Structure 1
Amino acid sequence: MTTFHRPAPPLRPYRPRTTRFPQVSPQATQPAHRVPPDRPLARDLALPLGAVGAALLVTALLLTGETAHTSAVLALFALLTLAVALRTRPALAPVAALVSWMFYDGFVLHQHAELAFHTPDRTSLLILLLTAAVGAGCAAEVRGVRRRG
């Protein structure tokens, strides 16, 4: 039986193709996404490092038995919150205060990782929130001065 098919196209002689590379401007060789100089890695890692710092502070206080001095411990947590708020984004400063308050309230005031909203709990939350707001405000002002000048 005979099979009918189309005839094969005629063979073309081999000619190597010349590749033309596009001209690249010097601006195109720079990376497309650059991190602004006012946003270092520490600014992005401030909140997680602050949470680790609060956990280590609670651990050190529980191991030494110094949780009875609640006002001094609150001052330590306020300093930690201030340090984190100075380094993090201003929008995340209340989150830093909330994380510090959870560790302070759960492990220093109530010893069994329980959160409550009695008067000392609300007062400590207010103190930590105000500390975070002051830290974020100072950091934003410093960034503004650097940007203008």
Structure 2
Amino acid sequence: MTTLHRPAPPLRPYRPRTTQFPQVRPSATQPAQRVPPDRTLARDLALPLGAVGAALLVTALLLTGATAHPSAVLALFVLLTLAVALRTRPALAPVAALASWMFYDGFVLHQHSELAFHAPDRTSLLILLLAAATGAGCAAVVRAVRRRSVG
């Protein structure tokens, strides 16, 4: 058996390695690179969490029977869309409004998960799109003020 296998190397004592990393100092000619403040996990997850929030809102409204007041429910969806548009990327704000509109139109107005495009449906879509645009605009203003104060 010893002729088929090489002998194992002798055990060496454990000595932790000390690694020296070079010290990098920013020079006067090279500006320090900063991570942009826009890159956060909240911005990436705002749209999926908004869709989940709309689904939970519809479920709660259907369980309590509060869908009989469509204008009050639309106000709740406007607040939800506004909150999502404040946190999401500005280009995705219309998608947040569309997701809220689909839940509102399909489960509150028509209650059989049907989407239609009649006058109340178009009005609610326009209101939700305006709420998303308002939220995205407010978020852009806040980011511009932060950049101006930091820079």
TM interval, shorter chain, is 0.7 to 0.9
Aligned residue pairs total 123
In the other structure, the counterpart of 2:111 is 111
SS in 2 for 1:67: helix
Is 1:141 the counterpart of 2:145 in the alignment?
A: no
1:40 deviation in Å? 1.4
Equivalent-residue separation in structure 2 for 1:139 and 1:93 (angstroms): 11
In the other structure, the counterpart of 2:8 is none
Is 1:95 the counterpart of 2:92 in the alignment?
A: no
1:43 deviation in Å? 0.8
1:24 deviation in Å? 5.3
In the other structure, the counterpart of 1:37 is 37
Q: CA RMSD in A?
A: 1.9
Equivalent-residue separation in structure 2 for 1:134 and 1:117 (angstroms): 23
1:25 deviation in Å? 3.6
SS in 2 for 1:102: helix
Equivalent-residue separation in structure 2 for 1:37 and 1:121 (angstroms): 37
Give runs of aligned pairs for residues 1-149 of structure 1, distance below 5 A.
25-27=22-24, 35-149=35-149
Which of these two proteins has the greater Rg computed from alpha carbons? 1
SS in 2 for 1:112: coil
1:26 deviation in Å? 3.5
Q: Which amino acid aligns with 1:80?
A: L
Q: Which amino acid aligns with 1:135?
A: G
Q: Which string of whole-angstrom CA distances, capped at 9 and with x for unpartnered residues, describes residues 88-127 of structure 1?
A: 0000000000000000000000001100000000000000
Equivalent-residue separation in structure 2 for 1:64 and 1:26 (angstroms): 63
Q: Which amino acid aligns with 1:116?
A: A
SS in 1 for 2:128: helix
Which 5+ residue runs of structure 2 have no aligned equivalent?
A: 1-19, 25-33
SS in 1 for 2:36: coil
Name whichever of 37-46 and 58-67 sits farther off.
37-46
Equivalent-residue separation in structure 2 for 1:53 and 1:83 (angstroms): 11
Equivalent-residue separation in structure 1 for 2:122 and 2:43 (angstroms): 28
Which 5+ residue runs of structure 1 have no aligned equivalent?
A: 1-22, 28-33
SS in 2 for 1:39: coil
Give the TM-score normalised by the residue count of structure 1: 0.78
Q: Which amino acid aligns with 1:93?
A: A
In the other structure, the counterpart of 2:28 is none
